[in-house]
Amino acid sequence: KSTCPPPPLLRFLTPSLASTHKSPSTLGCSPNCLPRFTQTLQKQHEAQLAELRQRMEKQIHAYKSAAAEASQEHAVAEGELTHEREGYLETLTKYRECREQLQQSEKESAARISELLVEKADYEAKEAELVEALESARKTADISLGKASDMAERVESLESVHREQASQISRDYVSREHVEAMERLFKETVERLTNRLEQLEENVPDRQRGRGSEGTRKILSSIEDPRAAAGGAGGGIRRGVRVEPGGGGAARGIRIEPGRLRAGGGGRGAGAADRRRNF
């Protein structure tokens, strides 16, 4: 009895059939039934092959769908990646520009800082000069204040002296009307004395008339010239009149300094009284 081994293709493609394949001897069939057995196997193989083809087609369709979806996702991802790459390139471009601007700003800032440091040094020097000038001005002001205080004290002392002098002047000086009245009185007195002396000369003897005339001339000369001194033996009158100028050339007042009136003649001269009056 010969056995029929399974076909090689069926063995490799359908291991389940190959494992379940039974020889005709196992099935208890004769060699005449081999074609029928072969047809049966062929039908089984075709059915399994159709089922396998259908399953493979489904898998291929699923693979194609997955590949298409993956391709679409890849295209989307590639587009996103391209867009992201472009964004990165744009960001890098902006970063490069910003870095250049930052470097330029740093250079300008460094230059400006150098200028500010120089200006700060100049301002500090000027501040030191101003502080020194202020200190010098303060010292000068203190000295000036001391001098001003001294000047104020001096002015006060001068004002007090001036007030004293003004009060003294107001006491010593009289008005022009009073002086004119005194001058008129003095002239009248001189005229009366002159007339009296002339009468006395007419009444005295001739010997004494010459001496009387000489004494009269001395008295009259002393009266006419206030700066002349009176004679030693006889009496005399000494006086002084001084006109003080005021502001603008006008006479401020007249000061009268009457002289001493001395009584003439022998023993009465020792007991003569000195009188002085200020108007």
Given phi > 0 = left and psi -120 to 50 = alpha, else beta, which region is 266?
left
* CA 107 – CA 173 distance, rounded (Å): 92
DSSP per residue over 27-68, as a string? HT--GGGHHHHHHHHHHHHHHHHHHHHHHHHHHHHHHHHHHH
List the structure tokens of 33.
Answer: 């039934």
pTM of whole model > 0.75? no
231 CB neighbour count, 10 Å cutoff? 15
Could you tell me the pLDDT band of residue 162, with boundaries at 50, 70 and 90? confident
pLDDT of res. 151: 87
At residue 32 the predicted structure's pLDDT band, cuts being 50, 70 and 90, is low
- Does residue 254 surpass a pLDDT of 80? no
- Mean per-residue pLDDT for 182-195? 90
Q: Give the type of residue at 102.
A: L
Q: What is the mean pLDDT of residues 109-129?
A: 92
How far apart, in whole angstroms, are the C-alpha atoms of residue 101 and residue 89? Answer: 18
Q: What percent of the chain has pLDDT over 90?
A: 23
Q: pLDDT-derived band of residue 129, with 50, 70 and 90 as boundaries?
A: very high
Residues 150-159 have pLDDT tens digits of 888 888 888 8
Query: Using CA atoms, how far apart are residues 73 and 63, in angstroms rounded to an integer?
Result: 14
In this prediction, residue 113 carries a pLDDT of 93
C-alpha dihedral (146, 150, 156, 159), degrees to nearest 10: -130
- The whole-number pLDDT of residue 51 equals 92
Determine the pLDDT at residue 1.
39
Q: Which two tokens stand for residue 170?
A: 């107001």
Q: Facing residues of 174 across strands?
A: 254
Asked whether 204 and 215 are in contact (CB, 8 A), the reply is: no
Token pair belonging to 35: 């074609």
Averaged confidence pLDDT in the chain? 72
Local confidence band at 98 (pLDDT 50, 70, 90 cut-offs): very high
In angstroms, the Cα distances linking 220 to 187, 197, 239, 263 are 12, 10, 13, 16
Q: What is the pLDDT of residues 52-61, one digit of tens each?
A: 999 999 999 9
What is the arithmetic mean of pLDDT over 32-49? 83
Q: How far, in Å, are 79, 98, 99, 136 from residue 144 at the CA level?
A: 91, 64, 64, 12
Q: pLDDT confidence of 214, banded at 50, 70, 90?
A: low
- Provide mean pLDDT across the span 77-89: 89
Phi-psi label, residue 28: left if phi above 0, alpha if psi -120 to 50, beta otherwise:
left
Cα 37 versus chain centre, distance: 124
Q: What's residue 93's pLDDT? A: 93
Give the pLDDT score at 118: 93
Q: Would you give the end-to-end CA distance of the chain in angstroms?
A: 199
Mean pLDDT of all residues in 252-269: 40
pLDDT at 202: 83
Classify the C-alpha dihedral 24-25-27-29 as positive or negative. Answer: positive
pLDDT value at 100 more than 90: yes
Label residue 169 by pLDDT band (50, 70, 90). Answer: confident
